[in-house]
Amino acid sequence: MIQTIAEYEFIVKISDDEFRRLRDFIYTACGIFFKEEKKYIIENRVSRRMAALKLMTSGDYIESLRKGSPGQEELKRLLDEITTNETCFFRNAAQLKAFESKFLPEVVKKKEKISFRKLRIWSAGSSSGEEAYTIAMILVENCATLLKDWNIEIVGTDINERMLAQAREGVYSPYSVRKVPERFLQKYFTKDAARFILKPEIKKYVTFSNLNLCDDAKMLFMRTFDFIVCANVLIYFEKSDKSKITQHYYNNLQPYGYLFVGQSETLHGVNDKFKTVHFPGGFAYVK
């Protein structure tokens, strides 16, 4: 069934069965799981791709994804359409809650025992920096208590120089900060017309640099992290690259370290060394 929305736009309706087949295919290929509540988003994005490729039925489109290299490229474009515009501050509330209330105190306690008061966190695929700066805000909030006298270092890496420049600048739109709690907005941003400028007291904890996750030599040097966050990045990689990168993450983490991926993402079947810990609304991989 096709509904006409505007003169040059149509939204195709995908049946429940087709949706499940598509999401199973995407999950097997990329490791991202779309719950049924996301069906309307998928329909919308599939429709856009169908219009771009001049395909008339969703069945034809789904078949095209299975066709070798062009299919893989198209799948990446579809994922990009689905996940684009989703990056923002405080994106994954459940993960951040579990991080702050459970995993961070646990790691801090372990390191306090050996008087090693340095925390290193890596935001892999940091894009325009929202994820790295979100973590910085949470850590700064704990600076007077849990993290008193601690040295904090957050490293953001990405392959895109434009994104890195944007991250270093630290200036954001209202859309980017839509999930920031009001008191954080007041405390850590300066508002200038429609721009939200991050204050230096947060920026100083984060450095951004260029890194290709497939660069094995450089990846070897990313050592001794307590936490690694890599959200909606590995979904774009072939399984063999994904395995290699995940093994690097495993090696790069401290013995008790945690790896976080995207809210709908899993690394099932990619690495058998990490264990999973589940919390309400998500899970983390632990060394």
Question: Is residue 54 left, alpha or beta, with left meaning phi > 0 and alpha meaning psi from -120 to 50?
Answer: left
Contact by Cβ (8 Å): 81, 45:
yes
Give, as ranges, the residues between 92 and 131 that touch another protein (CB under 8 A): 94, 97-98, 101-103
Contact by Cβ (8 Å): 8, 16:
no
The whole-angstrom separation of Cα 136 and Cα 154 is 7
Give, as ranges, the residues between 35 and 64 that touch another protein (CB under 8 A): 35-37
User: Closest CB to another protein among 21 and 168?
Assistant: 21
CB of residue 37 to another protein, shortest distance in Å: 8
Contact flag: residue 268 with another protein (CB under 8 A): yes
* Other Cβ atoms closer than 10 A to 278: 9
Contact flag: residue 269 with another protein (CB under 8 A): yes
User: Closest CB to another protein among 143 and 277?
Assistant: 277
User: Closest CB to another protein among 88 and 267?
Assistant: 267
User: Closest CB to another protein among 17 and 149?
Assistant: 17
Binding another protein (rule: CB under 8 A), the pick from 10, 25, 236, 283 is 283
- Count, residues near another protein per rule CB under 8 A: 25
Residue of 48, 78, 82, 80 lying closest to 65 (CA atoms): 78
Give, as ranges, the residues between 4 and 33 that touch another protein (CB under 8 A): 27, 33
CB of residue 273 to another protein, shortest distance in Å: 13
Residue given tokens 């264990």 in the structure block = 275
Residues that bind another protein (CB under 8 A): 27, 33, 35-37, 94, 97-98, 101-103, 264, 266-269, 275-281, 283, 286
